[in-house]
Amino acid sequence: MAPDKNLIPKIRDGASSAAERKVASVILEGYPVRALGTVGALAQRASVSAPTVLRFLARIGFPRFADFQAAVVADVERHMGSPLHKLGQQDDAASSDHIYHRTLLMQAAALRAAAAQAVVGEFDMIADLLADPRLSVKVLGGRYSQVLARRLSMQLGQIRPGVVLVQQEVGFTYDMLVDAGPRDLCVFFDYRRYQPELLTFAAAARAAGARICLLTDTWRSPIAEHAEAVLTSPDASPSPFGSRVVATAQVEALVAAVTHRIRDEARTRLARIEDLRKLDRKDGTE
């Protein structure tokens, strides 16, 4: 089979349903390795059925799974042999002696990888849900991802009402589940090591009818099984704690997208916040 020079865009843009978007995301997150596994492994990781995987591949021009894998192999061979790829490897090796320089380059590469593998339909689904005024938003994070949850909730709360950061104190978290229902959107940040209590909360919230979105790493938190849409981020860093540079950029992009969707409401709300701040300064309490 001749190399398909448009293979990655074809995967990224070919999905026509939420289930197919999950398949495309899983393939691109671990490209090319995941594409060279089995249909069953892809289906399991994407939390879809094997026929869904095959329907998606047929839609983008591969009637057999073997045809798709042959195209992936050809694509890898083409890239590995290109002078540009080899030159890029040499440049990276020559400029990465110092850990500071190397770390910055790794983050830049991670951002490029995240942009290349992004299935924008997943991003748009999350942005649409966050912008929906009928939904109350609950944001949850883990031990190291709580800072991301806080960032999203603080910024989102300035442009729309009904945003709550769910803290992780024992007992309090589960109180929030009592009234959970279809008018709730729960946004989770969960990265390895995944936190069991977040999965418990997600499963119970989903069972109550709440909508679930997830930001996670490319290994995918188990919460993905309950989520309508998932954004993943490469985790490349010399730090033992991993990197959340891409995840932070994803938060910024979501806030920007929601602001664009509810521009007038956001402008009115921000103006009101500024008016309240002026009152505070006038009273001499700031």
Residue 59 belongs to domain with CATH number: 1.10.10.10
- Token couple for 21: 């978007």
| CATH number of the domain within which 151 lies | 3.40.50.10490
φ/ψ (deg, to 5) at 216: -150, -175
DSSP 167-207: ---TTHHHHTTTT--TTEEEEEEE-SSPPHHHHHHHHHHHH
Q: How many domains does the chain have?
A: 2
Range name among 87-91, 138-142, 177-181, 261-265 with the lowest pLDDT average: 87-91
User: Higher confidence at residue 92 or residue 104?
Assistant: 104
Burial (Cβ within 10 Å: 0-12, 13-18, ≥19) of residue 84? exposed
Residue 1 lies in a domain: no
Judge if the upstream peptide bond of residue 32 is cis by omega within 30 degrees of 0. Answer: yes
Average pLDDT of the segment spanning 224-239? 90
Confidence of residue 88 (pLDDT cuts 50, 70, 90): very low
Residue 153 lies in a domain: yes
pLDDT at 124 over 50: yes
- Whether 155 is in a domain gets the answer yes
User: Which range (10-14, 149-153, 260-264) has the least confidence?
Assistant: 10-14
